Structure 1
């Protein structure tokens, strides 16, 4: 089957390559990630409760950014600025 050592080395390299591809495919299908050091961990899909909480946090942060944008772009004096901030906080 293997007439010379070179063909045997090529066959071994080919088998190792196929094994690495199959291993990477398995990890991708099962959500296993590897960091730069080589540690592996399974990344579970986010549950709907956590996802909903994160969406609410993002929505609240977007609202705060809009309030800050309104305050910053307002051309009123400094004394009016503090009153405006207090009004916006009470919403």
Structure 2
């Protein structure tokens, strides 16, 4: 499912125009992104939790040259599915 299909499904399920569903989806993505950028997490009970995971610095290898390189520490957005969502999928 791509974004336009998701917007159409939200509009049908919530009985709202597609333009309004699009604005709501964009606002949700923006709010979740802003919260993660601040270091917070967003929990939706029954669905899951959006959070930021820290990746430590590590050494790696350049596959082309075989040279050892240092990979810097980074933060990665992540999603942890809730129990209700896991049960629904299984």
More strand by share: 2
- Structure of higher CA gyration radius: 1
TM-score in terms of structure 2 length: 0.30
| Larger RCO, structure (CA 8 Å, separation 6 or more) | 2
TM-score in terms of structure 1 length: 0.29
